[in-house]
Amino acid sequence: MALDDWDFDLPPERIARRPAERRTDARLMVVPLPTGSPRDARISDLPELLRDGDLLVANDSRVMRARLGARRATGGAVELLLLGAGPGEIEALARPARKLRVGDRLSVDGGSQVEIVGAAVDGIVRVRFDEAPEAVMARAGRLPLPPYLERDADAEDDVRYQTVFADALGSSAAPTAGLHLDRELLATLAARGAGFATVTLHVGLGTFRPLRDEDVAQGELHPEVWTVPSATAEAVAETRARGGRVIAVGTTSARALQSATPTGATLPVAGSGTTRLFLRPPDRPTAFDGLLTNFHLPRSSLLMLVATLCGRERLLAAYADALLAGYRFYSYGDAMLLLPEAPRP
């Protein structure tokens, strides 16, 4: 499998620079599984698309104010993107990393000190703050909007770049499929008999770093921390037992569920750990039946994960249809629902 097989042309004007006015205003392309033609809908149509007994499983990780400005002793500017909330030593993407040495102490904007305690590898250093990293981020950090938005975060992003159910702090980017859900929609789904449960996967390099040929050859992604609570594992088992469909909200929720599922099994086991799981064809996920997801970057592991449900050619054809139909792409864009006609046998 070559990265070139996962490429497509995306005009820059199709990248959503801002979210829709309301979370549920986003458009939704519904792709039936295993076959069938895509159809147009809205996120607000989810209560009609899901059935009594179905289960949505979303990622409740909270995005950190992970982008920090700092200065070296020489006065040179450094930008850090923290890849964890601590405590203790944590990894950070540093720019420029090549000028940093173990033992260097940086002055962080807002009045703190951070020491480089691990040499740069692929632009990543290990750092240790002189106070809790969470406190430093709260005081001086900025939300790490994706670079393709070509702007800094503002007050609107403080609200819209978090899910309404965000809880555990630890992500360096948003679990974007969950951005489409609001409390009113979740209440309507509950009234219609659709369940809602959460997992945690702290979004880091495994999700958003561009793929390299060596990543594809290795078959693993950068490690990310996940948790599947007992209540969620039980909800998945109960949903399957009564014939409902388990719909992962986003690729991070999908990876958390599959990471918690033993090889050959179809149900996740409650627990936590670190995953390097790289789902791609011909893999066939067993822990979830369908997927609510955004439109992703070309040549990305996220695109490959979605294709495990519908195949590469069908997925790229749906993306071509989405471009023709005016769908908006990426973090603040529209969404796709890959929905099985029947639950897993």
Q: For 117-143, what is each residue's pLDDT tens digit?
A: 999 998 999 999 999 999 999 999 999
Which residue type sits at 338?
A: L
* Pair (122, 261) in one structural domain: no
* Pair (19, 50) in one structural domain: yes
Q: Write down the pLDDT at residue 86.
A: 84
* Pair (251, 317) in one structural domain: yes
Does residue 296 lie in a domain region?
yes
Last residue of a domain, one of 89, 115, 141: 141
Does residue 229 lie in a domain region?
yes
Average pLDDT over residues 284-302: 96
Q: In the chain, what percentage of residues exceed pLDDT 70?
A: 99
Angle at 46 between CA 41 and CA 52, to 5 degrees: 140
Does residue 196 lie in a domain region?
yes
Q: Write down the pLDDT at residue 343.
A: 67
Average pLDDT over residues 86-104: 92
Average per-residue pLDDT in the chain? 95
* Pair (257, 313) in one structural domain: yes
User: Cα(105)–Cα(78) distance, rounded to whole angstroms?
Assistant: 11
Its domain, for residue 76, covers 67-141
Cα 298 to the center of its chain, rounded Å: 15
The count of domains in the chain is 2
293 pLDDT higher than 90: yes
Cα 144 to the center of its chain, rounded Å: 13
CATH number of the domain encompassing residue 86: 2.40.10.240
pTM score? 0.94
User: Cα(315)–Cα(6) distance, rounded to whole angstroms?
Assistant: 10
Last residue of a domain, one of 91, 108, 141: 141
* Pair (103, 231) in one structural domain: no
* Pair (205, 294) in one structural domain: yes
Does residue 148 lie in a domain region?
no
Does residue 215 lie in a domain region?
yes
CB 341 within 8 A of CB 30: no
DSSP string covering 70-96: EE-TTS-EEEEEES---SS-EEEEEET
62 pLDDT higher than 80: yes
User: Cα(43)–Cα(191) distance, rounded to whole angstroms?
Assistant: 17
User: Cα(259)–Cα(52) distance, rounded to whole angstroms?
Assistant: 27
Number of H helices, E strands in the chain: 10, 17
344 pLDDT higher than 70: no
Q: For 206-258, what is each residue's pLDDT tens digit?
A: 888 889 888 888 899 999 999 999 999 999 999 999 999 999 999 999 999 99
CATH number of the domain encompassing residue 9: 3.40.1780.10
Q: Write down the pLDDT at residue 227.
A: 98
* Pair (85, 208) in one structural domain: no
Q: For 245-282, what is each residue's pLDDT tens digit?
A: 999 999 999 999 999 999 999 999 999 999 999 999 99
Q: Write down the pLDDT at residue 88.
A: 86
In what helix (H) or strand (E) does residue 215 lie, and over which residues does it extend?
A: helix 213-218
